[in-house]
Amino acid sequence: MLESIFVVALFLLYMLLWKVKKIQQKRVTGIDPEVMGESTSNVQQFMSHFTNFLTVYAGIVILIHATNFQWESLFSRYPLLSSAKVDVMGFFVGLFGLSICLYAQIKMGSSWRVGIDEKVKTQLITTGLYKFVRNPTYLGLFLLNIGVWLIWPTWTVFLLNILFILFLEIQVRCEEDYLSSVHGVDYGEYKKRTKRYVPFIY
C-alpha cells in the first residue's frame, strides 16, 4: 500500500509540475511551451506520439501495480529491493528528481519548451545548474524514473525506464542539432565545456 501511495504521489506531482508551468508560461508570454506536436519534423511528430504512448503505458503500469495484479513474474518485485526502507529511498530520489525539474523550469523562464520550438528563437541558458549539465530537466526525469523503479522494482517498470531512456537520448540529440543551428558557435563552445547529464562524466 505504501509503495502505491509513493508512486501515485510522484506521478501526480510530475503532472502538476508540467501543468502549472504550462499555464503560467502561456498566461505570461501567450506561447504554449508544449510545441513537440506542432513541429514540421517527422521525427518530432513521432516523438510526440511516443510521449503519449509512454504516458499511457506509465498509467497502466501504475494501475496494475496498485491493484497487486500478477502475471508470471512481470509485476513481481525484486526481493532484494522489496522493503519499506527502499520504498522511502525511492520516493526521496523521485522527489529530488522532480526538484531538479522544477529548478530547470524556473531557470529557463520563458525559454522553457517541451519539444523544439521552430517559430521562436529562445535564449541559450548556460548559468546556474546549466553551467554543469546541459539538460538538468532530463537528469531530473532520469532520477524520477529510478526512484519509481526502486519503489516498484519489477520487469514492467524496468522496461518503462529503458523506453524512457531511449526516448530522451533521441530527443536530446534532436534538440542539440537544432540549438547548434540556431546558436552556432555559442552553443558549440557550451557543448564542449558542459556535459549532457552528469557533470564531468557524460
Residue range 40-49: mean pLDDT, rounded = 89
User: What 3-state DSSP class applies to 133?
Assistant: strand
- Element of type H or E holding 202: none
Alpha carbon distance 140, 63 (integer Å): 23
Distances (CA, A) of 151 to 13, 65, 161, 197: 16, 11, 13, 23
Half-sphere exposure (CA, 13 Å, Cβ side) for 4? Answer: 10
Alpha carbon distance 30, 152 (integer Å): 39
Residue 1 has pLDDT above 80, yes or no: no
Residue 35 has pLDDT above 90, yes or no: no
Q: What residue ranges define each of the domains in the chain, with the CATH number in brackets?
A: 2-19+38-193 (1.20.120.1630)
Specify the pLDDT at position 119: 85
pLDDT tens, 71-127?
777 778 888 888 999 999 999 999 999 999 999 999 999 889 998 988 888 899 999
Question: 3-state secondary structure string, 70-109?
Answer: CCCCCCCCCHHHCCHHHHHHHHHHHHHHHHHHHHHHHHHH
- The whole model's pTM is what? 0.89
User: What 3-state DSSP class applies to 124?
Assistant: coil
73 in the Ramachandran plot: left (φ > 0), alpha (ψ -120 to 50) or beta? alpha
Specify the pLDDT at position 121: 83
Least reliable range by pLDDT among 16-25, 63-72, 100-109: 63-72
Q: Taking the chain, what is the end-to-end CA distance rounded to the nearest angstrom? A: 37
Specify the pLDDT at position 66: 84
pLDDT tens, 119-158?
888 899 999 999 999 999 999 999 999 999 999 999 999 9
Residue 188 has pLDDT above 90, yes or no: yes
Alpha carbon distance 125, 68 (integer Å): 44
Q: Comparing 82 with 25, which gets the higher pLDDT?
A: 25
Alpha carbon distance 110, 113 (integer Å): 8
Residue range 180-187: mean pLDDT, rounded = 93
Specify the pLDDT at position 89: 96
Query: In this structure, what are the phi and psi dihedrals at residue 195, rounded to the nearest 5 degrees?
Result: -75, 165
Q: How many CB atoms lie within 10 A of CB 185?
A: 8
Alpha carbon distance 84, 1 (integer Å): 10
Specify the pLDDT at position 71: 76
* Arithmetic mean of pLDDT over the chain: 91
Specify the pLDDT at position 2: 82
Specify the pLDDT at position 128: 94
Specify the pLDDT at position 86: 94
Length of the chain: 202
CA nearest neighbour of 35 among 139, 117, 108? 117
pLDDT category, 14, cuts 50, 70, 90?
very high
Residue 193 has pLDDT above 90, yes or no: yes
